[in-house]
Structure 1
Amino acid sequence: MRVLVTGADGFVGRALVKRVTKHPECSVVAAVRQRSCAEWGASSVESAEGAVQWLELGDLAAAQLTPDSFSGVDVVVHCAARVHVMDELHSDPLAAFRAVNVNGTLNLARAAAQAGAKRFVFLSSVKVHGESTSCGRPFTADDALCPVDPYAVSKMDAERALLALSEKTGLEVVIIRPPLVYGPGVKANFYSMMRWLDRGIPLPLGAIQNRRSLVALDNLTDLIVSCLAHPNAAGQALLASDGEDLSTTELLRRLGEALGKPARLIPVPPRLLEGAGALLGKRAVIERICGSLQVDIGKTNALLGWRPPVGVHEALALTAVGFRERS
């Protein structure tokens, strides 16, 4: 099986390329936007088994993709995307997200279908269902879609466009909706949390009783590999998680243990945090810290017979090791 992975120089894509090259029945085409990315990323698969072919695709939304670029490819795994932008400068954020996440995705999928690819695995987001859940009432894969921000709207639009294309071309589409992904090399807020813990900074997050689903990088890549050929995955939207939900407080405590730096958590009531967030213009940040976002992976379990192979304790330990290596 020949597998093309877009965003092969990214957090998920890089790990997936390593994972797929170890599969005895797979070869990999690692697709990146620019050749310099391929040259930099080649070092990340030197120890992996099997050869990797690097492919420069350019801007997916504007590129003139031809079936020749996908010759022999059986499955496309689309990890590349325009992701959250903390300080958005675009005058029309939704248009910017749609250009990449909808138009670029469709451009890629059409070319893959024309080249004879059988399946297109699309990495979407749990955010297509919404920003939060009531504690103890997780999202299921068949819940209504209710995206809030431009990123999530663009992912929903891409999902719908892909399913419409599937009906016209016969290209099998598999949609995977992960929550926050963590693991060695993680960036953004998760990395910031580790830096705070490592420095022993006291955090006013010791009394948060929310529940949040996360997915370890190893678990997500394992699920993606399961979806490459599983007959039950075709045409399905699937949720991913570690199968164990944590409060923000518990996550910080366990992450501190993994780092060997016990978390210094002050039990400030969430209502005070929310009030401070509103005053400082950080309401959305505090809502994510204090709110719940749970997913139910029962459908994924039942359809694929899949279970997360890595537990949270082991995954946090691996993440901590990656943090130490980067530091």
Structure 2
Amino acid sequence: MILLTGATGFVGRAILKNLIKNMRFSVRTFGRSLPFSEPDLTQHVYGNLDADADYTGALLGSDVVIHCAAMAHVHKDSTDKKSEFNRVNCAATIKLAKQAVEQGVKRFIFISSIGVNGGHNQQRAFRFDDISQPWDEYTQSKYAAELGLQQLAKETGLEVVIIRPPLVYGANAPGNFGKLVQAVKAGKWLPLGAIHNQRSFVALDNLVDLIITCVTHPHATNQTFLVSDDQDVSTTQLLEKMSRAVGKSPRLLPVPMSWLRLAGKLTGKQAVIDRLCGNLQVDISHTKTILGWQPPISLEEGIKRCFIEDKEGC
């Protein structure tokens, strides 16, 4: 039995669909609402992710936990973002893991963030064994959870698997990637035609495949895995590929990055511009070596699926 948290989210929903198709696994979900309109597809336990929650009923009979649920955003007017993130992303995670041990769970797969490594890189790609440099309250809470899980593994023998993805994309992706998809589909001109950075991304299908691999792989125990499509591109190249995938000519204005950064400062969008213009590369050689794993689809195929699946209403 696999317990999956966060099954109503972008990544969790895709994991659940994969698990349901894979007849080797039975699955139970935990969360505030049903992940699908058809409750017969899976067992579900209602509850909130919180440090004071009791997860016993959800964990009963489970062998593996895939923990996707997290707090990604807090209200912009919050006076203590660090405390809010830690309450859900760290304290609640450790509480879930401790109760998992009590219920005889063997393996705990934690979906963390590449932001634990840092916000950007310059000299070389991030590696799994780099010194962690979480750069904001969210990634700090993820790193605190990682440390807590690793300590619990030492004390109890729980098999902990940590996965740190970069930006995850796919059909109906949330956030800035979803906005770029809509802009490309609408044929809008974008001032992003002269960005010479390098970034790693991971297609939703590739991330899900790695997570499912880690459910049973004997060498995944107590490992930290970075994941990507293993194909880095600039923001400009990404948008060119997106345009071709939807059958349109790229509409990109070659605005210098220095101008974009200035515009970001003036409009309060500096963080967005930094992500569009900065470097964030991921070295997944450790993941491939330890697990014998390769991303099953290419970046080009992943981008194509963003548009094809959206047209099909998936």
TM-score by length of 1: 0.92
Residue 80 of structure 1 corresponds to 69
1:292-307 correspondence runs (5 A): 292-307=279-294
Q: Which residue of 1 aligns with 2:105?
A: 117
In the TM superposition, residue 79 of structure 1 has moved relative to its aligned partner by 0.1
Tell me which of 174, 181, 195 is aligned to 1:194: 181
Q: Answer whether contact 1:106 1:158 (CA < 8 A) is retained.
A: yes
For these two proteins, the number of residue pairs brought into alignment is 314
Segments of 5+ residues of structure 1 without an aligned counterpart are none
Aligned to 2:36: 42
Shift in Å, 1:101: 0.2
Matched, 1:62 2:52: yes
1:307 is paired with a residue of what secondary structure? coil
For 1:82, the aligned partner's letter is M
RMSD, matched Cα: 1.7
Separation in structure 2 between the aligned mates of residue 274 and residue 323 of structure 1, nearest angstrom = 32
- Tell me, yes or no, if structure 1 residue 52 matches structure 2 residue 39: no
Aligned partner of 1:12 in structure 2 is: 11
CA distance in structure 1 between the partners assigned to 2:235 and 2:64 by the alignment: 37
Asked whether the 8 Å contact 1:14–1:44 carries over to 2, the reply is: no
Cα deviation per residue 1:153-184 (whole Å; 9 max; x = unaligned)?
00000000011111111111000000000112
Deviates more, 1:120-129 or 1:256-265: 256-265
Q: Secondary structure at the match of 2:229?
A: coil
2:170–2:303 Cα contact (<8 Å) kept: yes
Aligned residue in 1 for 2:278: 291
Q: 2: CA distance between counterparts of 1:109 and 1:6?
A: 12
Asked if 1:314 corresponds to 2:313, the answer is: no
In the other structure, the counterpart of 1:71 is 60
1:1-327 counterparts in 2 under 5 A?
2-32=1-31, 34=32, 37-38=33-34, 41-43=35-37, 51-66=41-56, 68-85=57-74, 88-134=76-122, 137-325=124-312
Q: State the 1:89 CA deviation.
A: 2.5
Percentage of pairs with the same residue = 45
Counterpart residue identity of residue 243, structure 1 = D
**Cα offset, 1:260, TM superposition:** 2.2
Match of 2:256, as an amino acid? P
Instruction: Give the deviation of 1:69 after TM superposition.
Output: 3.0
Q: Offset at 1:310?
A: 1.0
Q: Is 251-260 or 233-242 further displaced after alignment?
A: 251-260
User: d(CA) in 2 for partners of 1:14 and 1:249?
Assistant: 30
> Given residue 185 of structure 1, which amino acid in structure 2 is its aligned partner?
N
In 2: Cα distance, 1:186 partner to 1:45 partner: 24
